Chain A
């Protein structure tokens, strides 16, 4: 790029264009400082309501350059609004008024707390149910009723009816008597244990 000293394109500086190696003048320094401050304000979102057309043009150029570099981010509210609008368009609905937009991000932020609250409540209810559950009723009568009276032949009992009177002649025949007792009780035991003799 060649330098043309006759090119007078700066409306704010009607003087001759300084050479590239010339020291900046005080006026140039002052202008550069004031533009830098203005640019800082715009970047910080505090752009002045009115500014010279020259400065506005420069600011717009600077903003475009900055946006192109990717250093500009939309505010969270603005991003949410754009996303909501895009979603509504996708489902073929009219976009809601900006004031009525419910942020998905805010819902996402609440979801873990809601889930945690529900699971905590369920856990507390389960614990309460465990401790406050009434004691079980007495078991069914069929299972705990008093032991039924067994028929005589299934019970332990005196052997008198089985043996009868012991004559003197058979007084010492204890082996035969115990055989009879054992056989009789064995029938009862089998009936009790196996349901039949």
Chain B
């Protein structure tokens, strides 16, 4: 009798222990589904907020007639750490480069303006309205360089250089248009496709 009881007890414990139990999902698992990596998250919002504040800081300095401080504020935007591969980060940096170039133009620092515009173009990994704007700003820098050079003399050599620079400016504006037109068409098409 005692052997039977012992055997039953062993079998019962073995069945209970070896039972194939499902891992029931916890309430926390059920409540919140995992999000894709490209979901708008706190780091992105934080970076955008910081960049926004630097832009407004620069705007205040510009209104106060303090271009150097404005330039310093805009340069800080370039150091803001956006989440890796966040498209907004590229757009914001491109816009900051364009603004920086324009601030340099206003100060007559055309070389720095050209460097800022070209740095923004080089850093871009895709075409966008912001990159197109950079090409436009680069064209403006070239225009300013042509004007500045034209003011230095009227020799044929200078004229030839001025003409060459103006041609480059035209090419920059055309490059900007070359980006904008297909981008606009793609966006229009996208809007059409999304309409019911």
Q: Given contacts A147-B33, A156-B83, A182-B49, is CB(A125)–CB(B136) below 8 Å?
A: no
Question: Which candidate, A65-73, A92-100, A184-192, is the interface stretch facing chain B?
Answer: A184-192
Contact assessment for A175 and B129 in the assembled complex, using a CB-CB cutoff below 8 Å: no
Report B-chain residues with C-beta under 8 Å of the C-beta of A157: 38, 87-88
Report B-chain residues with C-beta under 8 Å of the C-beta of A108: none
Report A-chain residues with C-beta under 8 Å of the C-beta of B52: 175, 178-179, 182
Contact assessment for B13 and A129 in the assembled complex, using a CB-CB cutoff below 8 Å: yes
Report A-chain residues with C-beta under 8 Å of the C-beta of B38: 150, 155-157
A123 vs chain B, min Cβ distance (A):
9
| Distance, CA A149 to CA B38, complexed state (A) | 10
The reply to whether the CB of A143 lies closer than 8 angstroms to some CB of chain B is: yes
The reply to whether the CB of B153 lies closer than 8 angstroms to some CB of chain A is: no
Dominant secondary structure at the A interface: helix
Contact assessment for B129 and A166 in the assembled complex, using a CB-CB cutoff below 8 Å: yes
Question: Which candidate, B1-9, B154-162, B163-171, is the interface stretch facing chain A?
Answer: B1-9
Residue in B17, B29, B30, B90 with the greatest tally of chain A CB atoms within 10 Å: B17
Report B-chain residues with C-beta under 8 Å of the C-beta of A192: 35, 39-41
Report B-chain residues with C-beta under 8 Å of the C-beta of A171: 98, 102, 133, 136-137, 140
The reply to whether the CB of A139 lies closer than 8 angstroms to some CB of chain B is: yes
Q: Which of A134, A150, A163 interacts with B20 by CB under 8 Å?
A: A134
B160 vs chain A, min Cβ distance (A):
27
Residue in A128, A154, A159 with the greatest tally of chain B CB atoms within 10 Å: A159
Tally of contact residues, B, Cβ under 8 A: 63
A149-176: CB near B (< 8 Å → 1, else 0) gives 1100011111111011110100110110
- Nearest chain-A residue to B94 (Cβ)? A174
Q: Given contacts A155-B36, A181-B88, A189-B40, is CB(A164)–CB(B129) below 8 Å?
A: yes
- Nearest chain-A residue to B90 (Cβ)? A158
The reply to whether the CB of A8 lies closer than 8 angstroms to some CB of chain B is: no
Contact assessment for B39 and A139 in the assembled complex, using a CB-CB cutoff below 8 Å: no
Contact assessment for A160 and B183 in the assembled complex, using a CB-CB cutoff below 8 Å: yes
| Distance, CA A40 to CA B16, complexed state (A) | 65
| Distance, CA A179 to CA B129, complexed state (A) | 16
Q: Which of B23, B37, B48, B126 interacts with A185 by CB under 8 Å?
A: B48
Contact assessment for B40 and A154 in the assembled complex, using a CB-CB cutoff below 8 Å: yes
Q: Given contacts A192-B39, A192-B40, is CB(A160)–CB(B30) below 8 Å?
A: no
- Nearest chain-A residue to B21 (Cβ)? A136
Contact assessment for B14 and A175 in the assembled complex, using a CB-CB cutoff below 8 Å: no
Contact assessment for A159 and B91 in the assembled complex, using a CB-CB cutoff below 8 Å: yes
Contact assessment for B184 and A165 in the assembled complex, using a CB-CB cutoff below 8 Å: yes
Q: Which residues from chain A sit less than 8 Å from chain B, CB to CB?
A: 114, 117-118, 121-122, 124-126, 128-130, 132-134, 136-137, 139-140, 142-143, 145, 147-150, 154-161, 163-166, 168, 171-172, 174-175, 177-179, 181-182, 185-186, 188-189, 192
Q: List 12 A-B pairs, Cβ < 8 Å.
A: A121-B10, A124-B10, A148-B33, A148-B36, A160-B91, A165-B132, A166-B133, A171-B98, A172-B98, A174-B55, A175-B56, A181-B88
